[in-house]
Amino acid sequence: MSRLKTLNLFLYAFKPLIVSDPQRFAARTIKEENRSSVFWQLSIQMGSCVSKNNGDDDTIHNVDFSGGNVHLITTKESWDEKLAEAGRDGKIVIANFSATWCGPCKMLAPFYVELSEQHPSVIFLLVDVDELCDFSSSWDIKATPTFFFLKNGQQIGKLVGANKPELQKKVTSIIDSLPQSPQQR
């Protein structure tokens, strides 16, 4: 089977995951030398990891997923505490469902930390999907990273994938939609 046919079959099989222009993915990946790099580049551009890394990836090591004002969620109880705190304080919660083995998650982690420092009026959470498997499953996580935007414990937005401009746009949009407190005026 030719590489083009293989790639087209791959794109067709994962079409539901590709939300933007499939030809752009094909044009950028068709030049790659082997199929595994085509698959890897495509999955990174889609912003979702499909399987666990086997540990051989040496491109990004020692990424600090929780710095700045990002709160690492390690239990269902800590999740409930942070949502209760947000409810009491009238704050928006942004929950990043991520994985330490996920390349796109690693690339986006410093940006997520930066956002948390820029927007202290928002509670930024990080949930490791491998550490809290059942909990993550209850949120129907199909790809990492997946971001949920919550107000009063209710979902007001969702973003799947490691798309910095879209994440920035979504955060800005949600923050701009909030009524200003008297201190901010």
- Which uninterrupted H or E stretch holds 98? strand 92-98
Catalytic residue (choose from 42, 105, 108, 171): 105
Contacts of 18 (CB under 8 A, 6+ apart): 11, 25, 46
Contact 71, 102 (CB under 8 A): no
Q: pLDDT confidence of 30, banded at 50, 70, 90?
A: very low
Q: How far apart are CA 84 and CA 140, in angstroms?
A: 22
Predicted TM-score (pTM) of the model is 0.66
Per the model's pLDDT, the better-predicted residue between 5 and 72 turns out to be 72
**Catalytic site residue from 46, 83, 95, 102:** 102
* Nearest alpha-carbon partner for 141 in 48, 12, 10, 75: 48
pLDDT recorded at residue 142: 93
Q: pLDDT tens-digit profile of 57-107?
A: 433 344 567 678 999 999 999 999 999 999 999 999 999 999 999 999 999
Amino acid, single-letter form, for residue 148: F
133 catalytic per annotation: no
Crossing angle for the helix pair 35-46 and 3-13, to the nearest 10 degrees: 30
Q: How many angstroms separate the CA atoms of 89 and 85, rounded?
A: 6
Nearest alpha carbon to residue 116 among 147, 158, 74? 147
Residue 99: name the closest of 89, 85, 109 by CA.
Answer: 109
Mean pLDDT of the chain: 75
- Return all residues near 62 (Cβ < 8 A) that are at least 6 apart: none
State residue 110's pLDDT score: 95
